[in-house]
Amino acid sequence: MFNPETERFSNFFKPNVPLLTNYVTALGYDPIQGNLMIGTPDGLNTLRIGRTIKPSAELNNIAAFPNPFRPATHNSVQIVNLPEDSMPQGKGTCSIYDASGMLVVKLEENRFSRFEWNGKSASGKEASSGIYFFVVADEQGNIKRGKLALIR
């Protein structure tokens, strides 16, 4: 799968995702549900990759995953709005703060209506291990907060 934001490919095969077989015959994407359908001779797999069309949603329970976040293992941590798995319509923001309350980085929604943090500050320096707090706000001024652990 090609990510146009990072200009990188991700390879999905039987050892790293639960595919029925490595032989893929068809792909389909549902932008409303955020599912990638992978057709194989042995059956259909569904992989949730995120929505590209925002449904009507309210800012509810904000969660970060994986949490704890290990940059050596995962490229980024995703911050999502549950249970909809989509941020409210309009432009939302997410600010990440360190334990002392200093702003580390301000994030914009990615094309899947999630926030994605690579573990680096706004200046590009790697953030150190510790507890970080995130604040998500929608255009109507609703705010939700959460925390995540970063382990280097």
Domain boundaries of the chain, sorted by first residue: 2-48, 61-150
Spelled out in words, what is the top-level CATH class assigned to the domain 61-150?
mainly beta
Whole-angstrom Cα distance, residue 67 to residue 38? 28
CA-closest candidate to residue 11, choices 20, 2, 52: 2
Q: What are 37-85's pLDDT values in tens digits?
A: 989 999 998 887 777 666 667 788 889 999 999 999 988 999 988 876 6
Q: What are 94-111's pLDDT values in tens digits?
A: 999 999 999 999 999 887
State both tokens at 40.
């194989």
Number of Cβ within 10 Å of residue 134's Cβ equals 22
State both tokens at 110.
């990615």
How would you classify residue 73: left for phi > 0, otherwise alpha for psi between -120 and 50, otherwise beta?
A: alpha
Enter the pTM of the model: 0.69
